[in-house]
Every structure is written in C-alpha cells, then in structure tokens.
C-alpha cells in the first residue's frame, strides 16, 4: 500500500531541526552539500521546509521521470522571488524566465523557433566559431606578451568576456569587441553586475525580498542596482539593433541574429522581446563561462584524457576539412566531457516543478500542487547512479547504454533551458579551438571545491596555464 504524504521522512515538521543542519553545514553557500547530506540521512526522498517554501526532494532518475510526466502543460519552477520582486518594483515586464501559464507558453513557442530549433541553430555555428577563433588569437597574443612561452592566469574574467561576446553575436548578429585589450567600462559593469545579481539572490531564497526591501537591507539595494545596470546595458544593445533595422531593413540574405529575427517576425510585442532578450543576454554569461572553466580544470588534472580529446578533435578536423557543422557531429568525447563537467559541477543545484497531478514516488503519495525538487548536484555525485562518481570520465556518456533521465543539466521538457543550443555549440567550438592550439595545465596541489551563489561556482580562483602545442 502507498504511504501517505505525511509519512515522507525529513525535518519538515521542525523548522528548528532543519535550521540547525543548515547552520551547522555552513548554510547559504553550501546548499548543494546540505542536499547530499539530507539524501544520506533520509534516503532517496525527503520533505523539508526551508525559509518560506516547502518541498519534496528526490534524487533517482526513475523518480525524475515520474516528476516530469506530471509537470503539466505549463511547467512551473520554484519562483525566484528576488527576480520577480525587482521586476514588479521597477515595473519591468517578465520575460520567458519568469512568466508562467499561457503567457509563458505563447512566448516560449515563438522564442523556441528562433533560439533552439534545429532550423536556426545552424546559423549560430559560424558566429560562435568566429568568437572561438578570436579567443585563441587573444591567448596567443598574451603568451607572446608574457615572453615566457606560456600564459598563467585566473581565466574566469577572460571567459566571461568570451561568453558575453558569444551570446551577443548570436543575439545581435554583431560583435561587441570584448576580446580586444580595451573593454568598455559599461560592458565590464554589465558582467560584474550579473555576478552580483546572482550572489545577492541567494539570501533572498530564505528571507522574503519584500521584507528586505521594507527594512532597506543592503542585499536588496545591491540586487536592485545590479539588475538596473543589467537592464540599462541590455536596453542600449537592443535599441541599437532596433534603430539600425528601421534605417535599413535589408540584410542581404545574411543571418541577422535572434533579436532582428524576432523583430521582423513581428509575433511578439517589442516589450516581450526586450524582456526575453535581456534574460538571454544575462543568462549567457556566467553559465557557459564557468562550465568551460571547470572543463579546463578537469582536463588539466587528467593530461592523458586531454590528449585523447585532442586526438579526437584532430581526427574530426582532418575528416571534415573545415566544415564546422560536420565537425560538430564527430566529437562525441568532447560532448561527453561537457556532460561530465555538468554532472560534477552543475550550474543549477536542483530542478524543480510544481506537479499538476497526484503522483507516487518511492511509494509515497504526493498531492498535486506540491513543489518537487530533483537534487541535480546530489544525483551527479551519487555512486548508485554514477559508479565511481568522483572520477571525471567523459567516456561514461559514450557507451551504447541509454542514460534514462540522467542527463538533465539543462533541465527537461518544454521548460528546459532556452539557451541550451547556444550554450552547447558555444562550448563545443571553444573546446575544439582550445585543444587544437594549447596544452592546459594547472598547479598540482590545488583542489577546488564549489560554493553556491545561486549558481554553483568554484570556491576559489582557478589558475591555469596555457602553452602552445
Ligand atoms: C533555464 C541550465 C546556459 C538561458 C535553465 C534551467 C537550467 C539551465 C537547469 C532550468 C530548466 C528547467 O527548469 O527545466 C543552464 C546551463 C547552461 C545554461 C547548465 C550552460 C552551461 C544558458 C544560456 C542562456 C540561458 C547560455 C542564454 C543564452 C536560460 C533561460 C532559461 C534557462 C532564458 C529559462 C527558460 C524558461 O523558463 O522557459 N538553464 N543554462 N541558459 N536558461 Fe539556461
Ligand atoms: C537556484 O533553490 C536554487 O539558468 C533555488 O541562465 C532553485 C532555483 C530556481 C531556478 C534556477 C536557479 C535555482 C539556478 C539558476 C537558474 C534558475 C533558472 C534559470 C537560471 C538555473 C536552481 C539560469 C542560470 C539562467 C539565468 C537567467 C537570468 C540571469 C536572466
């Protein structure tokens, strides 16, 4: 017989007990490890109440499948209230990230066509390839300048610029020029504000932003300042394209970028387009850059694996003869490496849905309307799900076996990451060019852990050395 909802294990009855584990394990910055700990204590399902929201947490791929089958026609995630509070406060429209219901769906369907459908992603390849090549040129230049035949640096800042340059090229069909030496201060501010925006969001998962706003708390003020800078810079970029398009709508058959395509399509209001394009621009910076940084870190730790990937890339290069679309079809190990990075270092600590029908998971009844979270970080490190989980092994994604609900780093279904294809192509092309040009090395002793600042980040700077082959 099925056990009742109230029998689900967990500290949910006693907020004090959960607060205690939360505090003991380092709280805020450790959510991912607290979740691992909770699964170890309670098993594959537990109920919890943290801050102002209650949820049921699951970890198994088979249970994830049940969850996503019950997500309904308008899948809804946990609302990040800091983000909606800012939009309400400044009277700015929600984009696809924050919309729900029919409004979300109608916008998303149109955006899908321009951002993630197979018919358009081919257009992104040359744009992203160009940025990848420029990154390599920039590294060669830095190596030359150093006079040491190598370049050692915390590459995160370089990767932020690379990522913003990449996503902007796709969105606007234009280069911003972020891989040159001089960077415009407004753009640097935009980059810094995205990081600040994420960082100031996480405390507000636990303390309602409305409250923080009323007492004039610093996190709220910083958060508003960050979003203000993000919106004003994105507005300028969007306005610029809009103006050009009105002056000369002819684009001579050249792919004009996502924004111009959406404007010409004329199916979404300008305000809706602006809101979603701003979200895409802001969502395109820290996510791919940090994933690439982790990948370089892992490849530096495993030099033999790095050589294997390089060999794959060189073979693919020889057989595709510069046809990048063809090339991208023959690098399974590089793709496996990206999946493997995201297994160990996911951007999102969890995936969540409000279920729209009653379900049974681990023999417990869960009523419709409940917020159910899949612990993505915990799942990626669980030995029952991924044997020898701490080993970075891209080949585990190659074998003929099916990875039923195990590859969920970008979410699932109609509400999955809208930037997924941009992110994947951008990261694949980056790694291709990097591996073709440089050896990646790191200092031996240093081991890097992770910290939670809304997204999962390295807990210390990662110093890497790039050496020409
Ligand atoms: C949503 C992961 C890069 C824009 C999401 C979600 C995840 C995710 C897990 C939630 C999906 C769900 O609930 O099922 C990632 C990862 C990235 C990445 C791992 C790179 C390594 C990007 C990029 C962009 C972007 C480059 C923009 C170009 C978005 C947007 C949503 C989203 C707009 C909300 C979609 C909606 O609610 O309909 N992402 N993301 N992401 N992501 Fe990404
Ligand atoms: C954070 O408990 C932890 O892709 C919370 O590009 C639950 C939660 C809800 C939504 C998740 C968020 C977590 C992590 C960051 C995500 C976000 C949805 C989209 C966002 C995963 C897991 C992200 C990084 C987007 C951000 C776009 C934004 C900057 C405009």
Instruction: Calculate the average pLDDT of the chain.
Output: 95
How many whole angstroms from 291 Cα to the centroid of ligand 1? 13
Ligand nearest to the CA of 96: 1
Per-residue pLDDT band at 336 (split at 50, 70, 90): very high
Q: How far apart are CA 406 and CA 394, in angstroms?
A: 14
Closest CA to 353 of 28, 63, 7: 63
Q: Which residues line ligand 2 (CB under 6 A)?
A: 77-78, 80, 97, 205, 279, 282-283, 287, 347-350, 352, 417, 454-455
Ligand nearest to the CA of 276: 1
* Per-residue confidence (pLDDT) for residue 464, from 0 to 100: 97
How many whole angstroms from 249 Cα to the centroid of ligand 2? 35
How many whole angstroms from 209 Cα to the centroid of ligand 1? 23
351 lines ligand 1 (CB under 6 A): yes
Is a pLDDT exceeding 80 seen at residue 15?
Answer: no
pLDDT tens sequence across 30-80: 999 999 999 999 999 999 987 678 999 999 999 999 999 999 999 999 999
415 lines ligand 1 (CB under 6 A): yes
DSSP percent split of the chain into helix, strand, coil, nearest 5: 60, 10, 30
More confident residue, 130 or 251: 130
168 lines ligand 1 (CB under 6 A): no
How many whole angstroms from 79 Cα to the centroid of ligand 2? 10
Q: Which atom of ligand 1 is nearest to the CA of 285?
A: 26
Q: How far apart are CA 371 and CA 458, in angstroms?
A: 28
Q: Which pair of structure tokens corresponds to residue 391?
A: 């080993």
Q: How far apart are CA 148 and CA 197, in angstroms?
A: 37
Q: Which atom of ligand 1 is nearest to the CA of 408?
A: 9
Continuous H helices in 76-172 = 81-90, 101-115, 118-146, 156-172
408 lines ligand 1 (CB under 6 A): no
How many whole angstroms from 287 Cα to the centroid of ligand 1? 8
How many whole angstroms from 419 Cα to the centroid of ligand 1? 5
Whether the complex's predicted ipTM is more than 0.90 is answered with yes
Ligand nearest to the CA of 417: 1
How many whole angstroms from 129 Cα to the centroid of ligand 2? 27
Summarize the confidence of residues 418-442 as an average pLDDT.
Answer: 98
Summarize the confidence of residues 308-315 as an average pLDDT.
Answer: 98
Query: Structure pTM?
Result: 0.97
Ligand nearest to the CA of 411: 1
What lies within 8 Å, CB to CB, of 400 at 6+ separation is none
């Amino acid at each position: 017989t099925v056990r009742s909802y109230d029998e689900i294990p967990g500290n949910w009855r006693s907020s004090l007990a959960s607060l205690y584990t939360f505090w003991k394990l380092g709280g805020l910055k450790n959510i991912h490890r607290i979740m691992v700990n909770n699964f170890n204590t309670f098993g594959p399902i537990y109920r919890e109440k943290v801050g102002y929201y209650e949820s049921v947490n699951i970890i198994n791929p088979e249970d994830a499948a049940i969850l996503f089958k019950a997500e309904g026609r308008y899948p809804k995630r946990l609302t990040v209230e800091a983000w909606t509070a800012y939009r309400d406060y400044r009277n700015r429209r929600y984009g696809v990230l924050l919309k729900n219901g029919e409004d979300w769906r109608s916008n998303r369907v149109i955006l899908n066509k321009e951002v993630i459908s197979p018919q358009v992603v081919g257009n992104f390849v040359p744009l992203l390839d160009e940025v990848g090549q420029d990154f390599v040129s920039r590294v060669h230049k830095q190596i030359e300048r150093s006079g040491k035949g190598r370049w050692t640096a915390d590459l995160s800042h370089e990767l932020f610029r690379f990522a913003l340059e990449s996503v902007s090229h796709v969105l606007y069909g234009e280069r911003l020029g972020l891989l040159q030496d001089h960077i415009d201060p407004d753009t640097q501010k935009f980059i810094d504000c995205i990081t600040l925006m994420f960082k100031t969001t996480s405390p507000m998962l636990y303390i309602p932003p409305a409250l923080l706003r009323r007492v004039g708390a610093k996190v709220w003020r910083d958060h508003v300042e960050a979003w203000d800078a993000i919106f004003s810079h994105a507005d300028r970029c969007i306005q610029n394209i809009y103006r050009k398009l009105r002056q000369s709508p002819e684009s001579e058959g050249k792919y004009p970028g996502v924004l111009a395509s959406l404007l010409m399509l004329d199916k979404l209001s300008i305000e809706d387009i602006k809101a979603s394009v701003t979200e895409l621009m802001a969502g395109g910076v820290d996510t791919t850059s940090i994933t690439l940084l982790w990948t370089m870190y892992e490849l530096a730790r495993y030099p033999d694996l790095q050589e294997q990937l390089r060999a794959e890339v060189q073979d693919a290069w020889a057989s595709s003869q510069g046809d990048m679309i063809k090339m991208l079809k023959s690098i399974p190990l590089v793709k496996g490496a990206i999946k493997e990075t995201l297994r160990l270092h996911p951007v999102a600590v969890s995936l969540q849905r409000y279920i729209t029908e009653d379900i049974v998971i681990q023999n417990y009844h869960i009523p419709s309307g409940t917020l159910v979270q899949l612990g993505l970080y915990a799942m990626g490190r669980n030995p029952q799900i991924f044997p020898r989980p701490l080993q970075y092994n891209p080949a585990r994604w190659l074998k003929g076996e099916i990875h039923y609900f195990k590859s969920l780093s970008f979410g699932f279904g109609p509400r999955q990451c809208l930037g997924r294809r941009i992110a994947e192509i951008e990261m694949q092309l980056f790694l291709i060019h990097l591996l073709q040009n440089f050896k990646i090395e790191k200092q031996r002793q240093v081991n890097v852990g992770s910290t939670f600042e809304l997204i999962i980040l390295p807990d210390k700077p990662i110093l890497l050395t790039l050496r020409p082959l």
